Amino acid sequence: MLKTAAVVLAFVSLLLFPTISKAQLIPSGNVYAGVAYADSVDVVNRGAYRGWDGSVEAFPLRRLSYIGIVLDGSGVYTRGVANSGTIQQYNLVIGPRISMNYGKWRPFVHVMGGIQRTKSGGNTYNPAAFDIGGGVDRKLPFKNFSWRLQFDYVHTHLLSQNQNEYRGSTGIVWRF
């Protein structure tokens, strides 16, 4: 009896598999992973950071295929003043992106908001972050892959001071 139930369950699962795969949550979009260089400027200090940047973009509106929703995450790192340790800065932002295709090129702009986590000298700060930026994707000869060049301006307000960060990143994009 147990073997029969297992066979019936496996058969029903195989019948339903094509139906489930057609009802994907994200019908089209892309995934980006790259390296980042950031220059952070506050009232007193200036720091150069190196790290990573990644994002997931979905196109939920079929009729407005040039509007996407982006979830972007990045992490940049640098040494503290007088080698006092490592400063770590992470951003997680979400927002709309507008893009258009022109042959092999896809320019885009985005405006996003979220949170920034900065760890320095044993202290952790979590200010709100505002990210505005854009860039361009260039299709590669490999199917569904592009190369991205992206620039962002990230603004935060922490401890009664404004922080302005300029970030450039480059990397590979996989489209699905």
Q: Which of 166, 169, 171 is nearest to 48 (CA)?
A: 166
Amino acid identity, position 36: A
Residues 6+ apart with CB under 8 A from 78: 47, 48, 49, 50, 86, 87
Q: What is the DSSP letter of 83?
A: G
Low-confidence ranges of the chain (pLDDT < 70): 1-27, 41-46, 80-84
pLDDT score, position 119: 87
pLDDT score, position 168: 96
pLDDT score, position 163: 86
Amino acid identity, position 159: L
pLDDT score, position 87: 84
Which tokens go with 176?
């699905």
Q: What is the DSSP letter of 23?
A: S
Torsion 77-80-86-89 (CA) sign: negative
pLDDT score, position 43: 45
Q: Which of 4, 61, 59, 63 is nearest to 26 (CA)?
A: 59
Residues 6+ apart with CB under 8 A from 130: 112, 113, 154, 155, 156
Q: Which of 35, 79, 49, 86 is nearest to 166 (CA)?
A: 49
